[in-house]
Amino acid sequence: MNDWAMPTARASSIVARQGDGFVATPFSERCAGLVDAGHHVFLGISPGNGYFSEDRLVALLRWAAARFTRVEIAHPDTGTVVCTYLGRGYEPRHARARAYRDVRQTANRISRAVATAGIDPDRLGVAQFSDFYDTPGYRAARERLARAHRDHPEFHATCVRMVTGVLRTTMPADWTPTADQLAAGAEYLDSELPFLLDTPAVLGVPASVFAYRATPALAGFLYGPDAPLPAAATQGFVTVEPLPETR
């Protein structure tokens, strides 16, 4: 996890928000302003991750609906999730079967959580990442990311470190991915990053905050001062963690 995530502690000027079973920590002052404005939140859900239980999803949806005008809950599609299994050396057919199972279970869990949460359907969107791959905003973000990998070695190295850390989580301690496995695993991260970079352009909303349970190690490249790959001015990030008594 340490290769993938950074500490959630922020400068003293950033005030964490507690309520409804969670503590929400914006990455920066600008991100905090977008959280407080409450236009739109994008809840990123990871298939195959036990953290996202049905009860946790219900709680997250209710937390989001109490603070944002519109809520988007989305997860990677099978074609994206398969990249992680290929990155761990799974044979392609086995990798796709595992990815399909993970995505199906996650989609079913989200569907049940949505029914339980009771949010106005007009305020809620449920999607897979692939639903947006053909939008101009998504394609433009992918092009920016490709340039950043070429032009900013530190950004690229951070992404490689993150991907390597994720691939190693279920592998033997001395395992190291090959170049091909690393490239496969990296596609998962690159598929998700447009939603951290410019969800407003991808989804056609005025402003958005990406919410996740941990802060990715590359967040400073997107939201920090003098960021080399600055996210859209209307794009924010907030770490949403359960309060200790609810974990």
pLDDT tens track for 73-109 = 999 999 999 999 999 999 999 999 999 999 999 999 9
Is the per-residue pLDDT at 160 higher than 60?
yes
Contact 240, 211 (CB under 8 A): yes
User: Is 7 within the bounds of a domain?
Assistant: no
User: Is 63 within the bounds of a domain?
Assistant: yes
Q: Residue 11's pLDDT is what? A: 53
Is the per-residue pLDDT at 19 higher than 70?
yes
Structure tokens at 230: 């600055």
Tally the C-alpha atoms within 13 A of residue 193's C-alpha that lie toward its C-beta. Answer: 30
Is the per-residue pLDDT at 226 higher than 90?
no
CA 209, CA 38: separation in Å to the nearest integer? 8
Q: What is the DSSP letter of 12?
A: T
Q: Residue 191's pLDDT is what? A: 97
CA 63, CA 113: separation in Å to the nearest integer? 13
CA 155, CA 196: separation in Å to the nearest integer? 15
User: Is 109 within the bounds of a domain?
Assistant: yes
State which residues form the domain around 87. Answer: 21-242
User: Is 1 within the bounds of a domain?
Assistant: no
Q: 0.85 exceeded by the pTM?
A: yes
Q: What is the CA radius of gyration of the chain?
A: 17
- pLDDT bin (cut points 50, 70, 90) of residue 170 is confident
Q: Residue 13's pLDDT is what? A: 72
Q: Alpha helices of the chain — where are they, by DSSP H? A: 29-37, 54-65, 78-87, 92-117, 136-151, 153-168, 179-192, 194-197, 199-203, 219-223
- Picking from 1-5, 17-21, 176-180, which range would have the lowest pLDDT averaged per residue? 1-5
User: Is 3 within the bounds of a domain?
Assistant: no
Give the Å distances, CA to CA, from 115 to 34, 59, 68, 120, 142.
Answer: 28, 12, 19, 10, 33
Is the per-residue pLDDT at 2 higher than 50?
no
The H or E element that residue 6 is part of is strand 5-6
Q: What is the mean pLDDT of residues 179-204?
A: 97
User: Is 5 within the bounds of a domain?
Assistant: no
- pLDDT bin (cut points 50, 70, 90) of residue 199 is very high
pLDDT, the chain, mean: 93
- Picking from 150-164, 166-180, 223-237, which range would have the lowest pLDDT averaged per residue? 166-180
Give the Å distances, CA to CA, from 136 to 195, 199, 203, 205.
Answer: 13, 12, 10, 14
Contact 140, 203 (CB under 8 A): no
| CATH code for the domain in which residue 119 is found | 3.40.50.11710
CA 108 to chain centre: 19
Q: What is the mean pLDDT of residues 115-142?
A: 97
User: Is 2 within the bounds of a domain?
Assistant: no
Q: Residue 246's pLDDT is what? A: 62
User: Is 9 within the bounds of a domain?
Assistant: no
Spatial CB neighbours of 167, under 8 Å, sequence gap ≥ 6? 84, 87, 88, 177, 181, 182, 185
CA 6, CA 220: separation in Å to the nearest integer? 10
Domain count within the chain? 1
